[in-house]
Chains A and B, each alone.
Chain A
């Protein structure tokens, strides 16, 4: 079989270049958009993804980790009774007001009260043991390097949270928050900072690790069943992280924005790609008509056009993937929040391939001009 589609693509690459570039940039835009959204909204769940616990126990119906309500201390007993639960750790969330030494006004901060033990589960990935140990000191807090300027402090400075004096003992990396600033303290310090009388010393979450992480979903379902320890809900790490991210994506309208932009990118890419492919078909319409005169069916000719669209898509995707990887690496090196997982990547690249194939289908229509009778004059 003579590879007409591929040979034409190679020989007349200049003709196809606009289509390849259109596919390439459409794919790149989809990828970067997804990576940025996932990166930005990924910080909504950094408390969950940055920790090693597999189960999260909180107030029923909590939509996002920052919206937690205090739960009954008795829940801890219920968790410890389960044979599959190996460790339980409290986590206290305090919405607070920060006053720095410099003139920064009030800054809304999220205080995360964690167990500072070296093997603590909360922020196990985000805070190394050396930093955690610093939190054992009363009124010690850690803030993210990226937030130092907003808070108007540097390491060693003192500030006030909810009117209580704290001292910045260290800085973390990758603990940026959405809609506020993260401050990490020990559980005891956080309890001091919590001035809400409703909380009355109760914690916001319990996190737990299970014997076999693969069975965490099953354990979560089982633990959710009991009601005798007050009202609480149990989520797996993945469920709760997803819940928090989705809350933010939908709450901010970013989800609709992403879909809107994806639609625009798809449309623009498809217009350019299909126009280029149409031009390529029209440029060879006499040759196609000759093949049809010789008995090569219209279906077979359509296949050639569609195959061309496929190769245009494939080459464009190679470009998108290569440029995407380079740009994401660059973004990471500049602390731009980007994150890309296999599923969104496949989705973006699949959508881009769909764009190429839809363009091919559109270009196929111009094969109607390949009427062999028109070759006779």
Chain B
């Protein structure tokens, strides 16, 4: 957590956050600083309640810290008002959640097109990007299906495509594999990894799922609101394979 790392796309400086419930004040993050680099899949792992989700919320601009600053893509988030923060998120960030949060009424293509339409893209351009994203996550053949017709892994891939289609500089994933079986969890983490590599996206993933550790470029272990260890994979994680038949069949 040095002050260097000139190419860091996401920087936290002395970030602290606490919550008050009743008369009890509990500190979730203690004076935390870190740099996260583009083109990498960074994993924050730790037991539940360690503050990793709060850290994600603050780094992604969904919550404001009590103290400290967050610089995202050179922009200081605390200086942005609610509206500007929404604009920033619209242009630069993608999210993947544990629950897939897809609209039941929309098919996969429409799920992905929906946020794009707010970016001011022409319908044709939105359609092109949505199709490309869905194909990238291997959902090309199933993009006319609604969530009720998709498996959990497929739904999460649609959710990733929805985040990816915006071509964000920052992609945040909160427990993206927790609701999935091993095979689908594997597919999802591979996709996230490949997005970091091929698009140069900063991918920040929060999970307590130990299966993910081996797939991350860098692992930050958290406990009690502090980062305990910062482990960069000695052997660079193997490049994600291109979409293969094995992935289709395992879905």
Contact = CB atoms under 8 A, between A and B. Distances in A.
A334 interface: no
B95 A294 contact: yes
Interface stretch (B65-73, B96-104, B219-227, B231-239): B96-104
Nearest to B99: A286
A297 interface: yes
Given A2-B106, A295-B118, A377 B53 contact: yes
A354 to B, nearest CB: 27
Interface stretch (B82-90, B131-139, B189-197, B210-218): B82-90
Given A2-B110, A4-B105, A376-B53, A294 B117 contact: no
A81 interface: no
A287 interface: yes
A2 B89 contact: no
Contacts of B103: 4, 7-8, 284, 287
A67 B128 CA distance: 76
A7 B109 CA distance: 13
The SS class assigned to the A binding surface is helix
A78 to B, nearest CB: 72
A322 to B, nearest CB: 26
B53 A294 contact: no
A134 B146 CA distance: 76
B123 A1 contact: yes
A107 B79 CA distance: 85
Contacts of B62: 293, 372-373, 376
A294 B105 contact: no
A62 interface: no
A292 B99 contact: no
A12 B90 contact: no
Interface string A272-304: 000000000000101101111111111010000
Contacts of B89: 293-295
Counting chain B CB atoms within 10 Å of each CB, the highest count among A2, A12, A292, A296 belongs to A2
Interface in B39-88: 48, 53-54, 56-57, 60, 62-63, 83, 86-88
A377 B98 contact: yes
B166 interface: yes
A4 B102 CA distance: 12
Contacts of A11: 104-105, 146
Nearest to A375: B97
Contacts of A1: 117, 123
B167 to A, nearest CB: 12
Contacts of B113: 2
A10 interface: yes
A297 B83 contact: yes
Q: Which of B90, B93, B103, B117 has the most CB of A within 10 A?
A: B103
Interface in B150-194: 162-163, 166, 174-175
Contacts of B114: 2, 4, 291, 296
Interface residues of A, number: 27
Interface in A1-48: 1-2, 4, 7-8, 10-12
A298 B118 CA distance: 12
B38 interface: no
A137 to B, nearest CB: 74
B115 A375 contact: no
A296 B206 CA distance: 23
A313 to B, nearest CB: 19
Given A2-B114, A284-B103, A373-B62, A290 B93 contact: no
Contacts of A372: 62, 95
Given A294-B163, A372-B62, A4 B118 contact: no
A7 B48 CA distance: 37
A291 B162 CA distance: 10
A43 B175 CA distance: 73
A295 B170 CA distance: 13
A297 B88 CA distance: 11
A4 B106 contact: yes
Q: Which of A8, A289, A291: most chain B CB closer than 10 A?
A: A291
Contacts of A376: 53-54, 56-57, 62, 97, 174, 206
Given A294-B166, A295-B88, 11 more contacts: A8-B104, A11-B105, A291-B115, A293-B95, A293-B97, A294-B93, A295-B89, A295-B93, A297-B86, A375-B97, A376-B54
Interface of A: 1-2, 4, 7-8, 10-12, 284, 286-287, 289-298, 300, 372-373, 375-377
18 contacts: A4-B105, A4-B106, A7-B105, A8-B104, A11-B146, A12-B104, A287-B102, A289-B101, A290-B97, A294-B93, A295-B118, A295-B166, A296-B114, A297-B118, A375-B101, A376-B56, A377-B48, A377-B174
The 10 closest A-B pairs by CB, nearest first: A295-B90, A11-B105, A295-B89, A290-B101, A376-B53, A8-B105, A7-B105, A373-B62, A2-B114, A293-B95
